[in-house]
Amino acid sequence: METATNLTADVLVIGFGKGGKTAAHALTDAGKRVILVEQSENMYGGTCPNVGCVPTKMLVHYSNAKRLEDDAQEFFANSVAGVRRLTSAFRAGNFASLDGKDTATVITGTARFVDANTVTVGEGDDRITVTAPTILINTGSEPIVPNIPGLAESSHLVSSTDLIQKDHLPRDLVIVGGGYLGLEFAAIYQHFGTQVTVLEAADRLLGREDADIAAVASGILVGDGIRIITGASVVGVRENGRTAAIDYEKDGRMHTVEAESVLSAIGRRPATAELNLGAAGVTTSPRGAIQVDEHLRTNQPHIFALGDVNGGPQFTYVALDDARIVLDQLLGDGIRTTADRVAVPHTLFITPPLATVGLTEADARAQGLHITVARENVADIIAMPRAYTVEETRGVMKFIIDADTDLILGAALLSIDSQELINTVALAIRYGVTATQLRTSIYTHPSSTEAFNEVLGKVIG
């Protein structure tokens, strides 16, 4: 049935991301023969543990620990070394835990479809052909470099992956784009000692958040020394010896800022270019995302797409839920869908982090909902001594509440520990816990959660 270059499996998984590896483990444990193809040995486990969530959040931790007397370059190099040790351990662990199973095989190389059930990996004598009746695509996403004259060709252009893998701390960094990725890197590198400038085309940062929340977040970033220029349209990048000259237009006037490094942070697109999806008859959107239904099936019923590659929210925990949906199709009752997702939280890991879930105040009012708003600055929350014990009292907490039912419709928490707090709020929304119940619950002390005892009673409108 198998030779050195022709393999068969019950399930072929393309991509070692969160969704793919979770599904591969479960399918193998269920007795299926699984082959997983990963393009790079540096990406076992996917984006999150290698070049995404884990290394960036570790750099957040290191950057906030830097003291004034620390040498910036030396401290940064040591921090990157620490990140490399952790990501290497995670990468090895991810590979061994799957490839070590009797019915699982990991192949390193680029998979290309030759028909709807078959891919090839590698070229020439090293080429392997894999055939399977069920295929899961989990190839993730890749950074977008905008069509700005001189940017793609610039020797000073860096990706987010470049930044976290280099042990040289740039003297100055220009970030094109003030979204989640751009602001996280801005905060990280400013704290390490780089002078950071963010060029954002919109009139303000965090356009999807309420203006008052965005204003507090912007104030914190500016207070940390980050230069933020909104309404800035980048028109070109020029080489200027040891720096790049970034030309941008603002208010009808041309300006230039120079930097040792330039990060493009305007977003990511699904990584599908190498898959040769046409050979499999799999359809994609104009942006390259694999089109799927609510069960994550493509137009080819035996092929599924999980994670960033299907054009959904680009979060590791959404990819994990994608795996649950697909596994329910392959091993379960087949009833779980993407429509089951309610109150999915998000966190922007600046310092302190901004975590949100549900509706904003602007959204709720636009929908004509009868709401009340509870809001309080962290520095004024008497019931939150933890903010003072860790010396981080910046930020604000805000809740949107249905005035008729007392149900929580949304929240924005810009505070210490907000990445944890938001999960409690999301559960409250999903399971109908009222604002009063959340406000009158018993929480440990001193903790950040006990802020709910006070903030939910601070109705401002």
- Alpha carbon 57 to its chain's center: 11
List the 371-377 sheet strands across, edge first.
Answer: 346-348, 354-358, 408-414, 396-402, 371-377
Q: What is the sign, positive or negative, of the torsion defined by CA atoms of 21, 23, 24, 25?
A: positive
Report the alpha-carbon distance of residue 338 to residue 320 in Å, rounded.
12
Half-sphere exposure of 271 (CA within 13 A, CB side): 21
Can 302 be counted among the known catalytic residues? Answer: no
Binding site as annotated, residues for FAD = 57, 139-141, 308
> In 3D, which of 179, 136, 86 has the Cα closest to residue 303?
136
> How many C-beta neighbours within 10 Å does residue 347 have?
21
Q: Is the peptide bond before 49 cis (omega within 30 degrees of 0)?
A: no
| Catalytic residue, candidates 168, 255, 370, 445 | 445
> In 3D, which of 284, 288, 256 has the Cα closest to residue 271?
288
> How many C-beta neighbours within 10 Å does residue 319 have?
29
Binding site as annotated, residues = 57, 139-141, 177-184, 200, 267, 308
> How many C-beta neighbours within 10 Å does residue 349 have?
21
Question: Are 438 and 428 in contact, with CB atoms under 8 Å apart?
Answer: yes
Give phi and psi for 145, each to the nearest 5. Answer: -105, 115
Question: Are 169 and 193 in contact, with CB atoms under 8 Å apart?
Answer: yes
H-run or E-run covering 244: strand 243-250
Helix (H, G, I), strand (E, B) or coil at 350: coil
* 202-230 core/surface letters (b: 16 or more CB in 10 A; e: else): eeebbeebbebbbebbbebbeeeebbbeb
Q: What is the sign, positive or negative, of the torsion defined by CA atoms of 208, 209, 214, 218?
A: negative
Question: Are 233 and 177 in contact, with CB atoms under 8 Å apart?
Answer: no
Q: Is the peptide bond before 149 cis (omega within 30 degrees of 0)?
A: no
Question: Cα(first)–Cα(last) distance of the chain, in Å?
Answer: 70
Binding site as annotated, residues for NAD(+) = 177-184, 200, 267
> In 3D, which of 264, 339, 325, 257 has the Cα closest to residue 296?
325
Q: Give catalytic residue positions.
A: 445
